[in-house]
Chain A
Amino acid sequence: MLTTLALSQESQVYTALESREAYSQPISPLSEDELRDFMQGRTLVRQSWIIGPALDSEIQGLGPLYNRNSCIACHAKNGRGFAPTNEHESMRAMLVRLSIPGKTLSGAPLPHPFYGDQLQEYGAPSVVAEGRASLSYSEHTVSLANGQNVSLRKPQLRFTELAYGPLPKNIQTSLRIAPAIYGMGLLQAIEEKTILTLAAQTKPGKIKGRPNWVWDEEAKKISLGRFGWKANVPSLRQQTASALSGDMGLSSSVFPHGNCAPKQRDCQQAAQTVAPEINASQLQQMTMYQLALAVPKQRQAGDAMVMRGKQVFERAMCAACHQPVLQTGDFPGLSALSHQQIAPYTDLLLHDMGPELADGRPDFQASGREWRTPPLWGIGLAQKVDEQVGFLHDGRARSLLEAILWHGGEAEASKEQVRTMPDEDRQALLRFLESL
Chain B
Amino acid sequence: MPSALTIKAALRWLTSFLLAGLLLGSQALYAESSKVVVMTSYPQEVVSTFEAAFEQQYPQYKLEVLWRQSRDAMAYFKQPPQPVDVYWTPAQRNFAQLEHMQALAPLDLDLTGLPEQLHGYPLRSSHYIASEIAGYGMAINPKAIQAQGLPSPSTWQDLTAAGYHGKIGLPIPSKVGYAPPLIDILLQGYGWQAGWNLLQALAANAELVTSGATFISDDVANGRLLAGLTIDFFTASAIANGAPLQFVYPEITAYSPAHIAIMRQAANVEGARAFRDFVLSEAGQRLLFHPDVRKLPVRPSAYAYKPADYYNPYASNIGFIYDSKKGLARQELTNALFDAIISLNIAQLQYSYEQLTAATQKLGADAPQVLKARALLQTLPIPEPIDTESSTEITSPDKAQIQAWQLQMQQRYAEAARILAQP
Contact = CB atoms under 8 A, between A and B. Distances in A.
Is chain B a partner of chain A in the same complex? yes
Contacts of A77: 292
B16 to A, nearest CB: 10
B423 interface: no
18 contacts: A1-B218, A2-B222, A3-B222, A3-B243, A5-B222, A43-B212, A46-B44, A48-B67, A55-B75, A69-B44, A73-B48, A76-B48, A88-B55, A89-B55, A90-B62, A128-B28, A161-B28, A162-B27
B66 interface: yes
Contacts of A46: 43-44
Interface string A38-82: 010001001011110011100000000000011011001100000
A117 B24 CA distance: 21
Contacts of B45: 72, 76
A242 B72 CA distance: 27
A1 B83 contact: no
A165 interface: yes
A49 B241 CA distance: 25
A316 interface: no
B44 A72 contact: yes
Nearest to A60: B72
B215 interface: yes
B389 interface: no
B384 interface: no
A73 B30 contact: no
Given A1-B218, A69-B65, A72-B44, 20 more contacts: A1-B217, A1-B238, A2-B221, A17-B242, A19-B241, A20-B241, A21-B243, A39-B215, A48-B47, A48-B65, A50-B67, A51-B66, A54-B72, A55-B71, A56-B69, A56-B71, A73-B44, A76-B44, A88-B55, A125-B82
B421 interface: no
Contacts of B273: none
A321 to B, nearest CB: 33
A54 B68 contact: yes
A163 B238 CA distance: 42
A20 B83 contact: no
Contacts of B56: 89
Given A17-B242, A49-B67, A70 B44 contact: yes
B20 interface: yes
A385 to B, nearest CB: 9
Interface in B115-154: none
Interface string B238-265: 1011111000000000000000000000
Contacts of A76: 44-45, 48
Given A122-B64, A161-B27, A161-B30, A1 B242 contact: yes
A1 B47 contact: no
Contacts of A4: 222
Contact of B221 (A3, A48, A92, A163): A3
A77 B212 CA distance: 17
B55 A90 contact: yes
Which interface residue of A69, A160, A161 has the most chain B CB atoms within 10 A?
A161
B229 to A, nearest CB: 18
A70 B72 CA distance: 18
Nearest to A42: B214
Nearest to A40: B211
A343 interface: no
Given A73-B44, A163-B28, A1 B221 contact: yes
Nearest to A124: B66
A353 interface: no
Contacts of B68: 50, 54, 56
B269 to A, nearest CB: 18
Contacts of B163: none
A129 interface: yes
Nearest to A57: B72
Interface residues of A, number: 40
A92 B28 contact: no
Nearest to B241: A20
Interface string B36-58: 00000001110110011001100
B44 A48 contact: yes
B392 to A, nearest CB: 25
B22 interface: no
B31 interface: yes
A92 B52 contact: yes
Q: Enumerate the 7 nearest inter-chain pairs by beta-carbon distance, A residue then B residue, closest first.
A: A19-B242, A88-B59, A48-B67, A1-B243, A20-B241, A1-B238, A161-B31
Interface string A404-435: 00000000000000000000000000000000
Nearest to A70: B44
Interface in B181-233: 211-212, 214-215, 217-218, 221-222, 224
Interface of A: 1-5, 17, 19-21, 39, 43, 46, 48-51, 54-56, 69-70, 72-73, 76-77, 88-90, 92, 122, 125, 128-129, 132, 160-163, 165, 388
A129 B27 CA distance: 11
A428 to B, nearest CB: 28
Contacts of A56: 68-69, 71-72
B67 A69 contact: yes
B300 interface: no
Contacts of B240: 20
B381 interface: no
B291 interface: yes
A160 B238 CA distance: 40
Contacts of A2: 218, 221-222
A103 to B, nearest CB: 29
A20 B44 contact: no
A1 B219 CA distance: 8
B411 to A, nearest CB: 34
A69 B47 CA distance: 11
A90 B63 CA distance: 9
Nearest to A69: B67
A48 B214 CA distance: 15
A21 B242 contact: yes
A150 B66 CA distance: 41
A422 to B, nearest CB: 37
Contacts of A43: 211-212
Contacts of B217: 1
A132 B30 CA distance: 12
Interface string B7-38: 00000000000001000100110110000000
A69 B51 CA distance: 13
A29 to B, nearest CB: 15
Contacts of B224: 5
B52 A163 contact: no
A92 B53 CA distance: 12
A50 B39 CA distance: 11
Contacts of B48: 73, 76, 92
Given A20-B242, A128-B28, A92 B51 contact: yes
A1 B244 CA distance: 10
A236 B412 CA distance: 53
Interface string B368-391: 000000000000000000000000
A163 B242 contact: no
A165 B242 contact: no
Nearest to B66: A51
Nearest to B60: A88
Contacts of A69: 44, 65, 67
A4 B45 CA distance: 23
